[in-house]
A and B are shown apart, each in its own frame.
Chain A
Amino acid sequence: MRDVAIIGVKTTRFGENWDVSLRDIITEAGVGALEDAGVAGEEIDSIIVGNMSGGQFIEQEHIGALIADYAGLAKELHVPATRVEAACASGGLALRQGIHSVASGLEDIVVAAGVEKMTDISSSSASTALAAAADREWEGIMGATFPGLYAMIARLHMHKYGTTSEQLAEVAVKNHANGVNNPIAQYRNKISVDDVLNSIMVADPLHIFDCSPITDGAAAVILAPADIAHKYTDTPIYVKATSQASDTIALHDRRDITTLDATVEASKRAFKMAKLTPGDIDLVEVHDCFTIAEICAIEDLGFVKKGDGGKFTEEGNTSIGGKIPVNTSGGLKACGHPVGATGIKQAVEVVEQLRGDAGKRQVDGAEVGMTHNVGGSGATAVVHIFSRNR
């Protein structure tokens, strides 16, 4: 198996972007990443794109072909383009599939991208589309929503470990503070704990400011064999681990409602593959689709003992400058959550940090970074570890 490097990255502006379509934003991300890498279209061996639900959000399937066409890679070059889906982990999955392809030796230059165009339909229709990531026949039919499922995780976490609404709110406050310094973030305003606690209740105990928004956005990275990465860039970022794990589709079938076993397992596999431990990680982008999800993530990834995530966050350990900076991009909460794009955006953020290009949100001396992308309420988890050093 060959070592793989990321040689180019690009994330579009995240937000409620009515002026642009899915094909506009994915092309912008792909072209941006290719320019960043200095790669010509003729060099591309394949495109892998994560997209949760073009069918529901814009009534468009066959997203791979659409992208190849509008990127000018279809009609003459006939570059293969494949769409992969694992709900909100579709982006992470696309990255993993791209890494497989380059590592195997089958292909050299692969574009791994993610895109979601979510605001062309009403927010209630978008919520219904997202609910398809849970078990429609045995959760959705009973009136379950995504905030509702994570609210049930939050309620039990509070009951078992004494986690408070204020501690959950601290996740949103910290992520908004990071979003202020991210030019592509959907929200670039600071908020307070009171702002979160006084915002409307969506699914008790989760307020609207405990929830990530509905977002349009795309992101892309260019993958290459590590051996030729220096041909394209002075600062290739190396893939040290890629891992993925599954769990039951329905929350009610999990071993423990407050633990995402898929995250635990994917994390273990990633650390084993990279021959690293949580103490070696300088920053991590986790899947904070809800504030409680970030608390669970830092516990399940191994950064803090189960149950201590709320207190750890409240003490400032996850802020930039803290023990382990979490979601320097602003996370899903403030940067936004175009579901298919999120897993790629996380990788772009880590690459920018490891290159030292993250501006005001730069983590000093960052050498090793991690990403954690979750599908549904935890039925899929995808984890990657990246390093400046091969």
Chain B
Amino acid sequence: MMSVPRFWRKQVARYNLIGTHCANCGAYYYPPRNMCPKCRREGKLENFKFSGKGEVLTYTVIHTAAEGFEKQTPYVLAIVKLEEGPSLTSQIVADPKDMSIGMKVRPVFRKLGESGERGMIYYGTKFIPE
């Protein structure tokens, strides 16, 4: 997974789907950014909590897991386009057979993984069918 400070630094954004909104151009970003890629130094970024409603842009069913995700296979990984505009990568908690491009999803707070039996447990936002 990743080190405690590296995860903790963006914990609030991961738990609550908090990204950024540029008051200059109106664009929304998730994951959060410190600089608006459109306005660059002209940008005015502020925190923004996303509704989490979105749709599946594309997905895959992973059978050969990333290290640390072995017990979860097969799992559905997707790119979800949020209703405010930005897209993110997350897991969909659903039967792979029920998946389709364009399906509506909403966010859920879930365990992502853990650093061994005594290590930290990582939580974050996954999605379920609407």
- State the A residues within 8 Å of B (CB): 124-125, 127-128, 131, 136-145, 147-148, 151-153, 155-156, 159, 200-206, 250-253, 257
How many Å from the CB of B1 to the closest CB on chain A?
7
How many Å from the CB of B31 to the closest CB on chain A?
5
Assess the A257–B79 pair: CB atoms within 8 A.
yes
Assess the A148–B62 pair: CB atoms within 8 A.
yes
Q: Can you sample 13 A-B contacts with CB below 8 Å? A: A127-B64, A131-B66, A142-B112, A143-B72, A143-B91, A143-B113, A144-B89, A155-B59, A155-B60, A155-B101, A156-B57, A203-B61, A252-B88
Give the distance in Å from the alpha carbon of A159 to the alpha carbon of B101 in the complex.
8
Give the distance in Å from the alpha carbon of A202 to the alpha carbon of B87 in the complex.
24
The number of residues on chain B lying at the interface, defined by a beta carbon within 8 Å of a beta carbon of chain A, is: 35
How many Å from the CB of B102 to the closest CB on chain A?
9
Assess the A202–B69 pair: CB atoms within 8 A.
no
Q: Which residue of A lies closest to B33 (CB)?
A: A253
Assess the A148–B77 pair: CB atoms within 8 A.
yes
Q: Which of B56-97 contact A (CB under 8 A)?
A: 57-67, 69, 72, 75, 77-79, 86-91, 96
Check if B124 is an interface residue, CB within 8 A of chain A.
yes
- A-contact bits for B46-62, CB 8 A (1 contact / 0 none): 00000000000111111
Q: Which residues of B contact A127 (CB under 8 A)?
A: 64, 66-67
- Interface residue SS majority, chain B: strand
Assess the B10–A143 pair: CB atoms within 8 A.
no
- Interface residue SS majority, chain A: helix
Q: Which residue of A lies closest to B90 (CB)?
A: A142
Assess the A156–B96 pair: CB atoms within 8 A.
no
Assess the A204–B89 pair: CB atoms within 8 A.
no
Assess the B58–A141 pair: CB atoms within 8 A.
no
Give the distance in Å from the alpha carbon of A153 to the alpha carbon of B112 in the complex.
23
From A124, A145, A148, name the one whose CB has the most chain B CB atoms within 10 angstroms: A148
Check if B122 is an interface residue, CB within 8 A of chain A.
yes
Q: Which residues of B contact A200 (CB under 8 A)?
A: 63
Give the distance in Å from the alpha carbon of A151 to the alpha carbon of B75 in the complex.
13
Assess the A141–B31 pair: CB atoms within 8 A.
no
Q: Which residues of B contact A153 (CB under 8 A)?
A: 58
Give the distance in Å from the alpha carbon of A153 to the alpha carbon of B2 in the complex.
26
Assess the B60–A128 pair: CB atoms within 8 A.
no
The verdict on A140 contacting B61 (CB below 8 Å), with A152-B77, A252-B87, A257-B79 known, is: no
Assess the B62–A137 pair: CB atoms within 8 A.
no
Check if B6 is an interface residue, CB within 8 A of chain A.
yes
* 5 A-B pairs with the lowest CB-CB distances in the bound complex, closest first: A151-B60, A156-B58, A204-B61, A252-B87, A152-B58
- Indicate which residue in B2, B6, B78, B113 contacts A152 across the interface (CB closer than 8 Å): B78
Assess the A201–B58 pair: CB atoms within 8 A.
no
How many Å from the CB of A347 to the closest CB on chain B?
31
How many Å from the CB of A1 to the closest CB on chain B?
30
Q: Which of B17-62 contact A (CB under 8 A)?
A: 31, 57-62
